Amino acid sequence: MNLFEKHNAQLHEAMIALHRRFYFVAYPEHPGAYGEDENTKGKTAFENLRGKPFADLLQTGETKQAGEEVSPYTLEKTGITYPFSDAETLVARAVSSRRAWQDAGVEMRAGILMESLDRMRARFFEIAYATMHTTGQSFMMAFQASGPHSADRALEALAMAYAELIRFPKETDWEKPMGKISVKLHKTYKPVGRGVGLVIGCSTFPTWNSMPNSESTSRKRF
């Protein structure tokens, strides 16, 4: 089973809700919906990040580590640093990856992005504690806004983008009658991207807008 097949049912549920305009939630907003041990696991995961470089980004080419976060709760530095890369390098790599991303096809790209939301779900509590200690938000606000609400908005954007990309056929036979003859053409269609997209997350709700934008622009730009 590939990633698209794994997430196809949920993606189409989101598309149905989008078109019919009824209530649908893939990521419940109450922490209790995720299991009684998840809160503790998430808090432990965040604590294990403190005082060391953040190493979960699968990227290379950083020029240094940077970070100056101070927790509004403890009034102490978190000690977490992040890989820093110059903008020119990141843009160049995004441009160079466009061909491979486009060649992956609509379904594979949708599957990859759905999987990214699924993996985000597994870290909602960790993300909540990270949000708390960087913004000063309460646990419930941090959990809901940076977790389920962001993921639901991202899924809606992804469903909308996917629906647009499959709205027209990949190929068709076109024929125009012209008296005793007719003109026949076999046409193929391929989405053309707009280029590299840039998403800047705000400091108070870091994933609220950045997740939906990342999901939708990843779908449409290539």
C-alpha 80/C-alpha 52 separation (Å) is: 5
How much is the pLDDT for 221? 41
Residue 155 has φ and ψ, to the nearest 5°, of -65, -40
Q: Please say whether the beta carbons of 113 and 213 come within 8 A.
A: no
Give the pLDDT confidence of 176-199 residue by residue, as tens digits. 999 899 999 999 988 887 778 777
How much is the pLDDT for 219? 45
Angle between helix 210-220 and 148-165 (nearest 10): 20
How much is the pLDDT for 216? 58
Q: Please say whether the beta carbons of 125 and 37 come within 8 A.
A: no
Report which of 105, 115, 132, 117 is spatially closest to residue 47, judged by C-alpha positions.
132
Give the pLDDT confidence of 17-74 residue by residue, as tens digits. 999 999 999 999 999 999 999 999 999 999 999 999 998 888 888 889 999 999 999 9
What DSSP character marks residue 195? -
Supply the mean pLDDT for the chain. Answer: 90
List the domains of the chain with CATH numbers.
3-220 (3.40.605.10)
Q: What per-residue string of b and e applies to 209-221 under the rule 16 or more CB within 10 Å gives b?
A: bbbbbbbbbbbbb
Q: How confident is the model at residue 217 (pLDDT cuts 50, 70, 90)?
A: low
Q: Is the pLDDT of residue 171 over 50?
A: yes
Q: Please say whether the beta carbons of 31 and 40 come within 8 A.
A: no
Mean pLDDT over residues 127-150, rounded? 95
How much is the pLDDT for 193? 78
Q: How confident is the model at residue 129 (pLDDT cuts 50, 70, 90)?
A: very high
Q: How confident is the model at residue 222 (pLDDT cuts 50, 70, 90)?
A: very low
C-alpha 34/C-alpha 47 separation (Å) is: 20
Mean pLDDT over residues 110-125, rounded? 96
